[in-house]
Chain A
Amino acid sequence: MRCWYEIAGPERGTVISSRVCFSRNLRGVPFPPKLNFRGKKAVLDQVQKTVFSEKSSIPRYFSFTELSGMKSGQLLALAERGVIPPDFVEQPDGRAFLATEDESCSVMINGEDHFLIQVRQAGLALNEAYRRADKLDTILDESFSFAFDDQLGFLTRNPALLGTGMTVSFNLHLPALTETGAVARIASNLRPLGISLRSTLGFGARPRGAVCRLSNQMTLGISEQEAITNLCGIAGQIIAQERAERNKLARSISIQDTVGRSLGIFRSARLLSYDEFLNFASIVRFGIATGLVHEIGVETIDLLAMRAQPANLALAFGGGAQSPEEECAARAELVRKTLASPAKDP
Chain B
Amino acid sequence: MLCQCCGKNPATTYVKIISGGRLVEYALCSECALQLGCGNFFTGLGYRLNDLVGEFFASDESGDESRCQCCGSSFSDIVRSGRVGCAECYRTFYDRLLPVIRQIHGSDTHRGKRPGGSLPQVQPDGELALRGTAGKEGKQ
The interface of chain A, by Cβ under 8 A from chain B, is 25, 27-31, 33-34, 76, 79-80, 86-87, 89-90, 112, 131, 134-135, 137-138, 141, 145-164, 166-167, 191, 196, 198, 201-205, 217-226, 274, 309-311, 313-314
Instruction: Name the one of A138, A160, A166 contacting B37, with C-beta atoms under 8 angstroms.
Output: A160
Q: Are A310 and B21 in contact, with the CB atoms below 8 A?
A: yes
Query: In chain B, what residue has the closest Cβ to A158?
Result: B83
Chain A residues near B59: list those with CB within 8 A. Answer: none
Ranked 7 nearest A-B pairs via Cβ: A221-B107, A310-B21, A153-B110, A138-B117, A147-B87, A30-B71, A220-B105
- A27 touching B112 by the CB < 8 A rule? no
- In the complex, chain B residues whose CB is within 8 Å of the CB of A90: 16, 23
Structural contact, A198 and B36, CB atoms closer than 8 A: yes
Does any Cβ of A come within 8 Å of B12's Cβ? no
A165 to B: closest C-beta gap in Å: 9
The answer for the CA separation of A147 and B71 in the assembled complex, in Å, is 14
Contacts from B to A (Cβ < 8 Å): 4-5, 7, 16-24, 26, 28, 32, 34-37, 41, 70-73, 82-88, 90-91, 97, 100-101, 104-118, 123-124, 131-132, 135, 137, 140
Q: Which residue on B lies nearest to A218, using beta carbons?
A: B105
A220-B107 in contact (CB<8A) = yes
Closest residue of B by beta carbon distance from A23: B37
Residues on B with C-beta less than 8 A from A29 are 86
From residue A186, how far is it (CB to closest CB) to chain B in Å? Answer: 14
Q: Given the complex, which residues of B lie within 8 Å of A148, measured CB to CB?
A: 114-115
A224 contact set on B, CB distance < 8 A: 112-113
Closest to B39 in A: A160
Q: Which residue of B lies closest to A82 (CB)?
A: B18
Would you call A203 and B26 a contact (CB within 8 A)? yes
Q: Beyond A30-B70, A155-B90, A222-B111, is A201–B19 a contact (Cβ under 8 Å)?
A: yes
Nearest B residue (CB) for A194: B106
Shortest beta-carbon distance, A18 to chain B, in Å? 17
Give the Cβ gap from B33 to chain A, nearest Cβ, in Å: 11
Chain B residues whose C-beta falls within 8 Å of the C-beta of A205 in the assembled complex: 7
User: B97 contacts which chain A residues (CB < 8 A)?
Assistant: 159
Q: Which chain A positions have C-beta within 8 A of B16?
A: 86-87, 90
A223 touches B71 (CB 8 A): no
Given contact pairs A30-B85, A221-B111, A225-B123, enumerate 15 new A-B contacts (beta carbons under 8 Å). A25-B86, A28-B87, A30-B86, A134-B132, A141-B116, A141-B117, A151-B108, A157-B85, A159-B97, A159-B100, A160-B34, A166-B112, A220-B110, A311-B18, A313-B21
Known: A29-B86, A191-B35. A89 touches B118 (CB 8 A): no
In the bound assembly, the distance between CA atoms of A159 and B40 in angstroms comes to: 10
Cβ–Cβ < 8 Å partners of A217 in chain B: 35, 37
**A42 vs chain B, min Cβ distance (A):** 15
| Closest A residue by C-beta to B27 | A203
What residues of A have a CB within 8 angstroms of the CB of B132 in the complex?
Answer: 134-135, 138
A162 to chain B, nearest CB (A): 6
Per the bound structure, the CA–CA distance linking A95 and B118 in Å amounts to 30
- Flag if A28 contacts B70 (CB, 8 Å): yes
User: For B109, what are the chain A residues with a Cβ–Cβ distance below 8 Å?
Assistant: 151, 220-221
Closest to B21 in A: A310
Can you name the residue of chain B whose Cβ is closest to the Cβ of A131?
B135
Given contacts A29-B86, A30-B85, whether A159 and B104 have CB atoms under 8 Å apart is yes
Looking at the complex, which one of B71, B90, B110 makes contact with A34 (CB distance below 8 Å)? B71
- CB of B1 to closest CB in A, whole Å: 13
Q: How far is B111's CA from A178's CA once the two chains are assembled, in angstroms?
A: 36
What's the minimum C-beta distance from A197 to chain B, rounded to whole angstroms? 10
What are 6 contact pairs spanning A and B, CB under 8 A? A30-B86, A138-B118, A158-B41, A161-B37, A204-B4, A314-B21
Distance from A258 Cβ to chain B, minimum over Cβ atoms (Å): 25
User: Are B41 and A164 interface neighbours, CB within 8 A?
Assistant: no
**Docked-complex contact A202 and B26, CB < 8 angstroms:** yes
